[in-house]
Amino acid sequence: MNTIARRQRILQELQEKGNVSIVDMAETIGVSSMTIRRDLKKLSAEGLVTLEYGGAALNSGSLFEYNMAMKEREHSSEKVRIARKCLEYINEGDSIYIDSGTTPAELAKLIGNKRNIVVLSHSLLVANILSKYPNVKFIMCPGVFRERSMAYMGQMTDEFVSRFKIDKFFMSIEGIDAESGISVPDYTDGETKRNILLNSDVIIVMVDSSKFGKKFFYNIANVQALDAVVTDESVDPEYVRILKSHNVRVDLV
């Protein structure tokens, strides 16, 4: 088991139990206590856990956010299916915006055969992918780099985006709730997403079912502002009903 997989396993145990002991975790994974202690120190430095005597507890407040390496491993099959469905929304002649995040990056991998489209993004992941597709006209948005998002964002990004007419915005979020709407932990990330949303005609949210019912620090918009939500079949049917009652299209994959 490599380092990322091991730390993902630790976080999964923390999500299920709330806290873990170093000795028990070492025995479960089959590594030394010293290795688990190093992993927990690294996760603590990233703000994911709080160290306790002999173990650690999971941080889970409204500011909690996995780093990109952890996000890439979570619900990976669902993200691929969501991206494939979103590809159906893209037509010839569209100007589209692909958000930062691992699910939008999966969409970027699929658009190499599309013709006569323009893609804007502030995501470094998306830029690295689209650099391999010379037929796709790609515009990289400037900004201040945020490592946890692997993207550029902030006032410079917002001002740049305001110059364009965007047909379809494929948005990634951390939480979606019927009452409070869509949200993310970081206000800079949230403000950039909000500004892209305001400059887009059609808003398509790409979100796996694990993010339903969650609320984070920065609220981007209420669910009525959305045109479509693409998610996996494990989502609670009650959320589907609520979204549809607000005239939001829901695609289950």
Looking at residue 5, its pLDDT comes to: 79
Give the C-alpha separation, 92 to 70, whole Å.
Answer: 34
Give the per-residue pLDDT at 106: 95
pLDDT score of 223: 96
Residue 152 near residue 186, CB atoms below 8 Å: no
pTM of the predicted model, to two decimals?
0.76
What is the DSSP code (8-state) at residue 123? B
Q: What is the 3-state secondary structure (H, E, C) of 201-220?
A: EEEEEECCHHHECCCCCEEE
pLDDT score, position 179: 85
- State the DSSP H helix or E strand holding residue 21, giving kind and residue range, or none if neither: strand 19-21
Task: State which residues of the chain have pLDDT below 50.
Answer: 62
Name the E strands within 135-244.
Answer: 137-140, 144-146, 151-153, 166-172, 175-177, 181-184, 200-206, 218-221, 228-231
Domain with CATH 1.10.10.10 in the chain: 3-61
Q: Please report which helix (H) or strand (E) contains residue 179, including its range.
A: none
Are residues 65 and 149 in contact, defined by beta-carbon separation less than 8 angstroms? no
CATH 3.40.50.1360 positions along the chain are 74-252
Residues 6+ apart with CB under 8 A from 183: 173, 174, 175, 176, 177, 190, 214, 215, 216, 217, 218, 219, 220
pLDDT tens-digit readout, 168-221:
999 999 999 988 899 998 899 999 999 999 999 999 999 999 899 988 889 999
Distances (CA, A) of 215 to 45, 203, 218, 223, 249: 23, 19, 9, 13, 21
Q: How far apart, in Å, are the Cα atoms of 95 and each of 16, 121, 165?
A: 42, 11, 8
**Following CA atoms 105, 109, 115, 120 in sequence, which dihedral angle do they give, to the nearest 10 degrees?**
20
Which overall architecture, per CATH, does domain 3-61 show?
Orthogonal Bundle (1.10)
The pLDDT of residue 229 is: 98
Enumerate residues 6+ apart whose C-beta is below 8 A from 79: 102, 103, 106, 206, 208
Residues 97, 41: Cα–Cα separation, whole Å: 37
CATH of segment(s) 74-252: 3.40.50.1360
User: What pLDDT does 45 receive?
Assistant: 80
pLDDT at 68: 53
Q: Distance of alpha carbon 37 from its chain centroid, rounded?
A: 28
Distance, CA of 118 to CA of 86 (rounded, Å): 16
